Copies of this chain bind each other. A is one copy, B any other.
């Protein structure tokens, strides 16, 4: 039996009871090496490996799950950029199949929204800027479509040390819509959300462009951005997207 479990950002307070109970009950835990610190407290047998070794990691977990109860742990939610779909795909190829259960966790967009105030309080899109598995053209089209239809946009994996182009292209798209519509879109930037050293900044597209070198250095792979819709505003230093109650009632 394989559980694919989302643990949220990692700190104990963001685990659901469901995830906590299952992790206490399994025989072994498999995860990315960077997340080992978050699951050591369960005192289970642990298998970890590194980035780009996801296929090997999931194969290992499936193999162990033939005669053990195994938890394959993902950061955030188990499905949102997690390893759940890969587990189903590889299981399908195997002669001996195992039962797979998926356990939800809190995704970064939720945590960041709470930290920033309430920016994610209307229709939204979630897009990863990592072009390792997705063509950049497709990613940018999604960003254009989010702005075209005035959705809030959560951006995952914005900048890698060697991957600057997707972020710069995304900023260009936001700037184009900003000029066209005369809206200085509010942008919330959260670093290490829900972890030690958590910090955040709330600025706008023009604020970022005016200090581009600073933000290119500040934003990294542990950062999530939330770009507001046309109604998003800053209230007392927090980023808020009205749901529409006050204009309606």
Contact = CB atoms under 8 A, between A and B. Distances in A.
Interface stretch (A123-131, A160-168, A199-207): A123-131
A80 B141 contact: no
A71 interface: no
Contacts of A138: 149-150
Interface residues of A, number: 82
A165 to B, nearest CB: 17
A199 to B, nearest CB: 17
Contacts of A18: 13-14
Contacts of A52: 249
Contact of A102 (B13, B117, B123, B236): B117
Interface string A111-133: 10111011111111111100011
Contact of A85 (B79, B102, B243): B243
A102 to B, nearest CB: 4
A148 B145 contact: yes
Contacts of A105: 106, 110
B114 A78 contact: yes
A81 B14 contact: no
Interface string A78-105: 1111111111111110000100101111
A179 interface: no
Copies in the complex: 2
A16 B8 contact: yes
Nearest to A135: B244
Contact of A121 (B12, B79, B118): B79
Contacts of A31: none
A88 B149 CA distance: 25
- Of A4, A115, A238, most B-chain CB atoms within 10 Å: A238
Contact of A104 (B114, B128, B249): B114
A241 interface: yes
Interface of A: 4, 6, 8, 12-18, 20-21, 52, 54-55, 77-92, 97, 100, 102-107, 110-111, 113-115, 117-128, 132-134, 138-139, 141-142, 144-146, 148-151, 235-236, 238, 240-246, 248-249
